[in-house]
Amino acid sequence: MSRIHAELTVGSSGGLAVRDAGSKHGTFLNDEPVTTAVPVRLGDRITLGRGGPTLIVEGLGTAPEIPVARRPGDARRLGRLVGVLLVLVLLLAGVGYGVYRLLAK
């Protein structure tokens, strides 16, 4: 196996392709030599050199990220909510400590 043996790329449509990176012993897709970038499908086997390590393609990447539309002021509302929650936590901690001190006497 070469130090940089093969390259997996994701195309603009999200498809995966494999190409040999000029390795000494070649890259094989389903036992066929890879000479140019070749599309990869589920269930394909990518082998580095004859009898070398094999990658079986069981998934083709992660789910696409869907942008979330945010309204102006959402961050400000979130900041206020975090502030209110922090004040409540501090009040509850103070009350809890006061009760603890009363019971400890």
Q: Where are the domains positioned within the chain?
A: 6-56, 73-105
Q: State which fold the 6-56 domain adopts.
A: Tumour Suppressor Smad4 (2.60.200)
Q: Is the pLDDT of residue 97 over 90?
A: no
Q: What is the pLDDT of residues 40-93, one digit of tens each?
A: 888 888 899 988 888 888 766 554 555 666 666 666 676 777 777 777 676 666
Q: Say what the pLDDT of residue 30 is.
A: 94
More confident residue, 12 or 5: 5
Q: What pLDDT is attached to residue 11?
A: 75
* 3-state secondary structure at position 29: strand
In terms of pLDDT, which residue wins out, 32 or 16? 32
Question: Whole-structure pTM over 0.85, yes or no?
Answer: no
Q: pLDDT value at position 99?
A: 62
13 against 97, higher pLDDT: 13
The DSSP secondary structure of 2-22, one letter per residue, reads -SS-EEEEE-TTS-EEEEE-S
> What pLDDT does residue 103 have?
72
The Cα–Cα gap between 38 and 27 comes to: 11
- DSSP letter for 53, please: -
